[in-house]
Chains A and B, each alone.
Chain A
Amino acid sequence: QKEVEQDPGPLSVPEGAIVSLNCTYSNSAFQYFMWYRQYSRKGPELLMYTYSSGNKEDGRFTAQVDKSSKYISLFIRDSQPSDSATYLCAMNSGGSNYKLTFGKGTLLTVNP
C-alpha cells in the first residue's frame, strides 16, 4: 500500500460548482497535512495546511482531516476558472522532520 493515495482525475466541473479533492494515507505518524496548488508550467505553491484532525477554512477553500480514517479532503466552493490547476496533498510527521510525502496530484479543470 502506498503511503499516500490520491485520485489523479482528471476532474472537470462547471464554474460555480463545489469541488471535493481527497487523499488517503497509511502512515499514522503524519500530523501535518498540506494542499499545494500547481498551475501549468509552474512549481507547486502551498495553499493550505492543517495540523492533526479538524477543519480549516480560508475563503472559498476548506481543508478537512480525519485521522481516524486516515483521510483528508479539500473543498473548493464557487469554483472559478482560475482554480484550474493540479492539486497535490502532502503530509509530514512534524517536529524537525522536514520530509514531505506527496500524493500524485489531481488535475482540476473549471469550465466557464
Chain B
Amino acid sequence: EAQVTQNPRYLITVTGKKLTVTCSQNMNHEYMSWYRQDPGLGLRQIYYSMNVEVTDKGDVPEGYKVSRKEKRNFPLILESPSPNQTSLYFCASSFLVGTSGGALYNEQFFGPGTRLTVL
C-alpha cells in the first residue's frame, strides 16, 4: 500500500530534550515536506526537500532541522524543543502528475500526523 508513515503519532516531552520525528514514504517520491498545523493558522511549511541531500527552508523553519540521506526518509529534528513548538505535525511527499492537456500538477500525500506537546 502506497503510504507516508510517521512516528511517533503522539509525543509529550519537556523543554530542551532533543527529539526526532521520523517520516518514511514508499512511493519513490522525490519531493518531501514537513508542515505544522495550528488552530487559526492552518498548515505552514517548515522544511522541504527536492531530493536526497537537497533541503531548504519553508515558511517557519526556526527551531527545526531536517536531513535527507535516503530518498524514502525525511526526519524532523527538534534540537531543543520549546512550548511554542507544541503542534500537530504532518509529513508529506509528492510527485508531479501530468495531465492529458500537458499540464503538471503537484499531488501531495500526507502522513497521519504527529501530535507533539512540549511542556
Assuming the A-B contacts A88-B42, A104-B42, are A94 and B105 also in contact, with contact meaning beta carbons closer than 8 angstroms in the complex?
A: yes
Given contacts A43-B111, A49-B107, A51-B105, whether A102 and B90 have CB atoms under 8 Å apart is no
- Chain A residues with a Cβ closer than 8 Å to the other chain, count: 27
User: Which bucket holds chain B's interface residue count?
Assistant: 20 to 34
Q: A32-B103, A49-B107 are in contact. Are A104 and B40 (CB under 8 A)?
A: yes
- Interface assignment of A46: CB less than 8 Å from any CB of chain B: yes
Flag if A32 contacts B105 (CB, 8 Å): yes
Give the number of A-B contacts (CB < 8 Å).
Answer: 65
Q: Beyond A98-B94, A99-B48, is A44–B103 a contact (Cβ under 8 Å)?
A: no
- CB within 8 Å of B: which A89-112 residues: 90, 92, 94-100, 102-105
Distance (whole angstroms) from the CB of B68 to the closest CB of chain A: 14
**Are A98 and B103 touching (Cβ within 8 A)?**
no
Q: Establish whether residues A46 and B43, one from each chain, have CB atoms under 8 Å apart when the complex forms.
A: no
**In the docked arrangement, what's the CA distance between A96 and B96, Å?**
8
Most buried by A among B31, B45, B101, B106: B106
Assembly CA distance A43 to B43 (angstroms)? 11
A-B contact pairs, 6 of them (CB 8 A): A45-B109, A88-B43, A90-B108, A92-B106, A96-B96, A98-B33
